[in-house]
Amino acid sequence: MSIQDKLSRLLSDLRISVTDRCNFRCPYCMPAEVFGDRYEFLPKTQILTFEEIERLARIFISLGARKLRLTGGEPLVRAEVLNLVERLARLSGIEDLALTTNGYLLPKFAQVLRDAGLRRVTVSLDSLDDTVFRQMNGLGYDKDKVLQGIEAAEKAGLQPIKINCVVLKGVNEHTLVDLARHFKGSGHIVRFVEFMDVGNLNGWDISKVVTAREIFERINSELPLEPLPANYHGEVASRFRYKDGSGEIGIIASVTHPFCGDCTRARLSTEGQLVTCLFANDGFDLRAPLRAGVPDEKLREMIQSLWTRRSDRYSEVRFESLKSNRELPQHRKIEMYRLGG
């Protein structure tokens, strides 16, 4: 069974945030000036257990979800996360089990993740310039451990590896070509992401956005590109191939080329809320009925009812406002570190 929302969008992807904690403090997600030593993250009792995540994932699969992705925060800081990977890898009906990570802990975890049943990783790497990278991760880490993590993932067979780079004007756009060149011919796919107004704390402003066109022109001027068709319906990145045949890149342009119309993703937050849009102001609590002993069929009905009522299209609304010079619609949004992007 596969269910559709009000805009005829199927449910096919479930993103599961396993922790709200992270060992980085990237300014577009968890700026260090906000998430300091005294910041209070969710207590353990409010976070879904692995048993609860597995149970909900099975229900989502029965409603059409075929791709599962573990996110955070940084999912590899969650204790015993390998146990969750093993549980999800055994579920019947999934076609892909992936994980998004900042890569810092991958040298330790890559092989055991693969052995547990993980299939792919997406690694965040915003620059190869150590000065810029230290600024972007917020805690002064060098890039070397992340590069080692990518190598470990490749060796373990967690492929294809995608590398996400969030582009901030005046911060890292001058390093994009170097990043593309470094992975050109490696088989890994670098995806450049427009800075998005996810959450409320990252100081988003349209003036800080390097547009998809600017990203393309900057890279194409030195490493000639040509467009590629999407791999599948709902793919968020526009694909481009190097004209010499040595690989591809992607550009994710939620701000200037919104793709709400193809969105097939549901999100399960760290504390067990079903969220139907990355820019949502709230979610639907699944933890309470889970812990109250509600049977699977009733949970299934709840999820199906919520998805079939879904009509989210925030990025398109934002784009229409920007295009007509109207004030952006303002509402308080769930923070990205609880949704995983």
Sketch out the chain's domains with CATH numbers: 13-338 (3.20.20.70)
- Give, rounded to a whole angstrom, the gap between the first and last alpha carbons of the chain: 26
The residue that leads in pLDDT, 332 or 294, is 294
**Encoded tokens for 116:** 């547990």
Of the candidates 153, 130, 152, the one whose C-alpha atom is nearest the C-alpha of residue 141 is 130
Q: What's this model's pTM, rounded to 2 decimal places?
A: 0.95
Which of 189-193, 217-221, 269-273, 330-334 is least confident?
330-334
CB 92 within 8 A of CB 121: no
pLDDT tens across 10-30, in order?
999 999 999 999 999 999 888
Q: What is the pLDDT of residue 203?
A: 82
The tokens of 313 are what? 């299209």
Cβ(65)–Cβ(13) under 8 Å?
Answer: yes
Helix H segments across 27-141? 50-62, 81-89, 106-116, 130-137
**Token couple for 316:** 């398109």
pLDDT of residue 234: 81
Pairing assessment for the beta strands 248-252 and 189-194 based on DSSP bridges: parallel
- Interval 277-315: pLDDT, tens: 999 988 999 999 999 999 999 999 999 999 999 999 989
More confident residue, 53 or 230: 53
Per-residue model confidence (pLDDT) at position 333: 81
Q: Which pLDDT score, from 0 to 100, does residue 246 have?
A: 97
Q: How far apart are CA 220 and CA 230, in angstroms?
A: 19
Assess whether pLDDT exceeds 70 at residue 341: no
Is residue 337's pLDDT more than 80? no
Using CA atoms, how far apart are residues 263 and 172, in angstroms rounded to an integer?
28
How far, in Å, CA of 125 to CA of 177, rounded? 13
* Backbone CA torsion sign across 213, 237, 102, 122: negative
pLDDT higher at 317 or 305: 305
pLDDT on residue 329: 67
Contact, 78 vs 23, CB < 8 A?
no
Q: Is the pLDDT of residue 214 over 70?
A: yes
Q: Any residues with CB less than 8 A from the CB of 38 and at least 6 apart, and which? A: none
* C-alpha–C-alpha distance, residues 74 and 318, integer Å: 28
